[in-house]
Amino acid sequence: MVNIIEKIEQAGLRGRGGAGFPTATKWQAVKKQELQGKKIYIIANGSEGEPGVFKDEYILKKYPTEFIEGIKIALVEFADSEAVIYLNHTYYDWYAKRLASISKGFPINYFRKTARYIAGDETALISHIEGKRDEPRIKPPYPAESGLHGMPTLVNNIETYYRVFQIAKDQYQNKTFYSISGSGIKKQVYDFPVDYTIKEVLVKSGNWPKDDFFIQYGGGAAGSIYLPEELDNVLPGAASIIIFNRNKTNPYKLMRYWAEFYAKENCDKCTPCREGSMRILEMLKEDRFDRERVKELFLAMEQSSFCPLGRGMSAPYKSLIEKVIR
Amino acid sequence: MSQISISINGRKYQADEGETVLQVAQREDIYIPALCYHCDLLPHESCRLCMVEIEGEGKLKASCTLKAFDGLRVLTDSELVNRVLAVNLELLFAQHEGKCEACARKDSCKLRQAVIKFSNKEKFVADKYSDRKKDKLKYQFGPSIMFDPAKCINCENCATMCAKQTKGGFIRPRESKYNFEVSPSLANDHDCIYCGQCIVHCPTGALSEVEDYPEVQKLLKDSTKKVVFQFAPAIRSSIGELFGLPPGEIATGKIFSSLKRIGAYKVFDTSFGADVTIMEESEELINKIVSGENEVMFSSCCPAWVKYLEFYEKGFVKYLTSVRSPHIILGGLIKTHWAKHNNINPKDIVVVSIMPCTAKKFEAKRRELRVNGFNPVDIVITNREFAKLLKEANINLADVEPSESNDDIMGSFTGAGEIFGASGGVLEAAIRTAYFKTTGKSLEHFEFKAIHELNGIKELELKVNNQKLRFAAVSGIENVKIVLDKLKSDPTYYSCVEVMACPGGCVAGGGQPLPIDDEIRKMRSKGLYKADRENRYRESHANPDVVELYKGFFESDRMRHRICHTKFAAKNKGVIKRIK
Ligand code: SF4
Ligand code: SF4
Ligand code: SF4
Ligand code: SF4
Ligand code: FES
């Protein structure tokens, strides 16, 4: 029988949390630690804090058994292991009971996330479960070496475990869940091949807009803006498409929405992200968006933020300014 | 360890494997405004002002965690570095335009230092952003610590430190809608122990001592008052640093002279009080051992440690020696014995203690320490405040001619008293005298090198009259917790434990010159041990004035007891004031 990690590798599965890291590599790193006789923590990241991404909820609602099976596969693969399912508080309140009844008899615990968006970051999430402030930690050590309570920890997104289940059952067809929402369409999740172009996704799901539009791909905060003519590609980042009506969208309002989101949801650990996000929000609130000053802030954020959240914060603004505001 | 070579700004430097770029740069005197880095703490990487450019990559990395590797090439002064750092600095400094001149931490603030360095750079504008913290109220913790959130840069160093010094942390991040704010806990089970270690690790002026030296300036001008100073053992090897002298240089003589110059009526060395403390403590220890009562005895010279027990570990309070701390004993003697001897009304005396410590400000206010209705000590100023007192009187301590103590009844002091400032010093001084008292002869070797080191827990085993006794000297509450755990299961494990709340002891106290790091801790302690070796008296019981004291004034047990002993008891949460 082929080992599950090899199967994951052959399937070329990439993490479904947005960063797209090869799943097999993570599992192998944890395996290495397990072989040294260490206890392993397995975490399912169901924080899903990014606006415009709702496929984890879809799985929790429609495929809870398959998801839990995916976790069980990990529990079997790693000898002395225990799992924690980390859910944002809404998901916890809605689904934890049902999940718990499915996972009965297995060492699977549930953690209710009360903290902000950044706690979706795997190291921040670990700090949070440990009862500390939900700030990302310095890597290395990576969670695979030293994660929860200092033990090797496997952190994967909910969908990733679902796909692992499919791989184990030889049912994986190289698909991923797209969350599609936006003006004039129904918020919905679609299971499409990972190599569909965005245009294909929109056309096949019947969501290609009639009016002039632009989209945000990769999440309603971290995602970048793309124009219709840029959609003949497969794009990087979380599989989330938000459609905006070009004529009806006020870009400054949109930026203010992002600014509000980042100012609240970042962890505030580091200077450029904490203070920068505050200052951008301040400018937008006071209606004096100063492009020169914002450019400086973006540079400092990109170059000196501690974690990817701060480093990537400028992307939506920059692409909106460049392509839509001009 | 293998040597590697890295390039900084085009020049080659040797580095050890595992060293960070920041460590190399600091050793080579290359300025990097690393605000949040403190060698006592794991890098928290929050300020993002230590960024360096990796040559050829156009990318910045935080030097406080960037490990040096052979062939690494970085720039600390490139255009990109300067542009990014200018923005981060503007963002942080936005919060306190123009407040530096009046700031208690003006000279030790790393933020101000960075702003000064950057102010001649073209890109940098100090007041680019409005002050978003200007309406914040200050906090005062007890009579000791001042916290001004308006100057806080959210680095969390204080919180990390405070979590070590208390249980759960008294000063800590509190979440609000957009940001977290560091603030004191209002919960009843958290309190400040006034150790001042948050100050030591705060890069800015957000944390400082409550300054009492302006009051001293006022009193010095008041002709109806006789201002009598005393200064702690621990300040003699560090005060020089604020006047350009190296750490560890002993300035006892200069301290005497400069205090006389600013108008002191009289100056005493608190080491005299330390000798009395030792006389009493060694007596208590011997009685304990002889009577077969084997439970541990704790030192009580450190008021932050005492407060820690009284608030967080109430069950252990009973093990504290009843002996008062040196400056309290000396203050009590000044207002009784010495006042009488010199025909002075104690009402006219103001005793000012210069201490390495912020907790001593709290100790001096404890009502249970009063003697004949007087507080033994009226005002406590830190070593840093002392330097200000001198500087504002235009006295440069470095240039002052040393002089000696000249009191006829409490003027002499011993090396045993002088080492009180170093972790392990109180224990060593007590052993010297206890040994003499039990065996009738002096120790062959006065120094116990094992407790001169910098470790947080130092143990010593001695055989006295066929009894094997275990002692420990502990510094830093984090280490205390380990020792207390041991004692919880066996309260006889140690005979005597000396505790100082500050890591490294009073030489690195919350009121000492900044910066403080392990190298500085070592040098300051070494200075004290050197002073001990050079003192003609090295045992407290050999201090001739102490001998006289016990023959005369202390003949009366009642007087001796009133001045030297007290009772400690469980305490509730102290006062936290909000100030405009
Ligand atoms: S960039 Fe900094 S403040 Fe922003 S989320 Fe990451 S660590 Fe927190
Ligand atoms: S003085 Fe000590 S106990 Fe008080 S806040 Fe500072 S570190 Fe904490
Ligand atoms: S008070 Fe000082 S040490 Fe504490 S977070 Fe603020 S700047 Fe940092
Ligand atoms: S160790 Fe010394 S400086 Fe620190 S709180 Fe105690 S007495 Fe004060
Ligand atoms: S010193 Fe490196 S981030 Fe602050």
Q: Per-residue pLDDT averaged across A260-280, rounded?
A: 96
Positive or negative: CA dihedral A10, A16, A22, A26: negative
Mean pLDDT, range B295-309, rounded to an integer: 97
Query: Is residue B162 in contact with ligand 2, taking CB distance under 6 Å?
Result: yes
- Phi-psi map region of B491: left, alpha, beta (phi>0 left; psi -120 to 50 alpha): alpha
Residue with the bigger pLDDT between B290 and B154: it is B154
CB-CB contact of B258 with B402 (8 Å):
no
Question: Alpha helices of chain A — where are they, by DSSP H?
Answer: 4-11, 23-34, 55-62, 64-77, 89-102, 122-129, 158-168, 198-204, 251-265, 271-285, 291-304, 308-312, 314-320
CB B374 within 8 A of CB B346: yes
| Residue of B22, B46, B82 for testing the chain A interface, max A β-carbons within 10 Å | B46
Given a cut of 60, whether residue B484 has pLDDT beyond it is yes
pLDDT at B123: 79
pLDDT in the model for residue A40: 96
What is the CB neighbour count within 10 angstroms for residue B130?
Answer: 12
Q: What is the pLDDT of residue B293?
A: 83
Task: Answer yes or no: do A269 and B46 touch at CB < 8 A.
Answer: yes
Instruction: Show the tokens assigned to B317.
Output: 């309070």
What is the whole-number distance in angstroms between the Cα of residue A22 and the centre of ligand 2? Answer: 46
Substitution candidate for ligand 1 out of A127, A139, A267, A280 with most atoms within 8 A of CB? A267
B379-382 β-sheet, strand order: B266-269, B226-231, B349-355, B379-382
Query: Model confidence over B367-393: pLDDT tens digits?
Result: 999 999 999 999 999 999 999 999 999
> For the residues A268-289, what does the mean pLDDT come to?
96
Least confident of A301-310, B288-297, B357-366: B288-297
Q: What is the pLDDT of residue B290?
A: 86
Q: Tens of pLDDT along B250-267?
A: 999 999 999 999 999 999
Report whether pLDDT(B570) > 70.
yes
Q: Is residue A118 pLDDT above 90, yes or no? A: no
d(C-alpha B482, C-alpha B18), whole Å: 29
Picking from A270, A279, A299, the nearest residue to B83 by CB comes out as A299
Whether residue A210 is predicted with pLDDT greater than 90 in this model: the reply is: yes
Domains along chain B?
3-118 (3.10.20.740), 138-212+575-579 (3.30.70.20), 214-564 (3.40.50.1780)
Which chain B residues are Cβ-neighbours of A278 within 8 angstroms?
132, 178-179
Output the average pLDDT for chain B. Answer: 95
How many angstroms separate the CA atoms of A104 and B302, rounded?
A: 54
Please give the distance, rounded to the nearest whole angstrom, from the Cα atom of residue B507 to the centre of ligand 4.
8
C-beta of residue A33 within 8 angstroms of C-beta of residue A145: yes
Distance (Å) from the alpha carbon of A258 to chain B's nearest alpha carbon:
13
Q: What are φ and ψ of residue B240, in 5° steps?
A: -55, -30
Query: What's the confidence (pLDDT) of residue B1?
Result: 58
Q: What is the pLDDT of residue B466?
A: 79
Cα torsion A154, A157, A158, A161: sign: negative
Give me the mean pLDDT over the B454-466 stretch: 88
Check if A4-168 and A176-245 are the same fold: no
Atom 3 of ligand 5 has which residue's CA nearest to it? B45
Which of A117, A135, A262 should be mutated for ligand 1, with most atoms under 8 A from CB? A135
Domain boundary assignment for chain A: 4-168, 176-245, 253-325
Indicate whether residue B145 lines ligand 3 (CB < 6 A): no
Tell me, in angstroms, the distance from the centre of ligand 5 to residue A270's CA: 9
* Residues whose CB falls within 8 Å of the CB of residue B140, separated by 6 or more in sequence, listed in order: B146, B147, B210, B576, B577, B578, B579
For an interface test with B, give the residue of A146, A269, A277, A283 to mutate (most B CBs within 10 A). A269
Of the partner residues B87, B129, B130, the one whose CB lies closest to the CB of residue A299: B87
What mean pLDDT do residues A14-29 have?
A: 92
Q: How many CA atoms lie within 13 A of A27 on its CB side?
A: 25
Q: In what helix (H) or strand (E) does residue B383 lie, and over which residues does it extend?
A: helix B383-392
pLDDT at residue B98 tops 70: no
The answer to whether residue B297 scores a pLDDT higher than 70 is: yes
What spacing in Å lies between the alpha carbon of A114 and ligand 2's midpoint? 29
Q: Is A28 in contact with A142 (CB distance < 8 Å)?
A: no
Residue with CA closest to ligand 4 atom 6: B302
For position B120, what pLDDT does the model report? Answer: 82
Of A263, A271, A296, the CB nearest to B47: A271
Query: Residue A207 corresponds to which tokens in the numbers above?
Result: 């969501």
Write the CB contacts of A107 (distance below 8 Å, at least 6 apart in sequence). A75, A81, A82, A83
Residue B2: pLDDT over 90? no
Architecture of domain A4-168: 3-Layer(aba) Sandwich (3.40)
pLDDT of residue B97: 56
Q: Is the CB of B161 under 6 A from ligand 3?
A: no
- Residue A261: its pLDDT value, please? 96
As a whole number of angstroms, the distance between CA A272 and CA B400 comes to 47
Question: What does the pLDDT read at residue B177?
Answer: 86
A156 residue type, one letter: N
| Domain topology for A176-245 | Ubiquitin-like (UB roll) (3.10.20)
Q: Is the pLDDT of residue A1 over 60?
A: no
- pLDDT value at B464 more than 90: no
Provide the ipTM: 0.92
Query: For residue B295, what are its two tokens?
Result: 């439970």
Predicted confidence (pLDDT) per residue in A146-183, tens digit: 999 999 999 999 999 999 999 999 999 999 999 999 98
Fill in the amino acid letter for B359: A
Q: Say yes or no to pLDDT of A61 above 80.
A: yes
Distance B209 CA to ligand 1 centre (A): 31
pLDDT of B95 higher than 80: no
Instruction: Please tell me the pTM assigned to this model.
Output: 0.94
Each residue's pLDDT tens digit, B205-256: 999 999 999 999 999 999 999 999 999 999 999 999 999 999 999 999 999 9
The percent helix, strand, coil of chain B (3-state, each to 5) is 40, 15, 40
Please give the DSSP secondary-structure letter assigned to residue B137: P
The whole-number average pLDDT for the span B56-71 is 96
3-state secondary structure of B389: helix
pLDDT of amino acid B258: 98
**Chain B touched by A263 (CB under 8 Å):** yes
Residues of B with CB under 8 A from a CB of A: 43-49, 51, 59-60, 62, 65, 80, 83-84, 87-88, 91-92, 94, 128-130, 132, 153-154, 156, 173, 177-180
Among partner residues A271, A281, A299, which is closest to B48 by beta-carbon distance? Answer: A271
Q: Are B540 and B429 in contact (CB under 8 A)?
A: yes
Express each pLDDT in B264-285 by its tens digit. Answer: 999 999 999 999 999 999 999 9
Interface-testing mutation among A116, A270, A293, with chain B (most B C-beta atoms within 10 A): A270
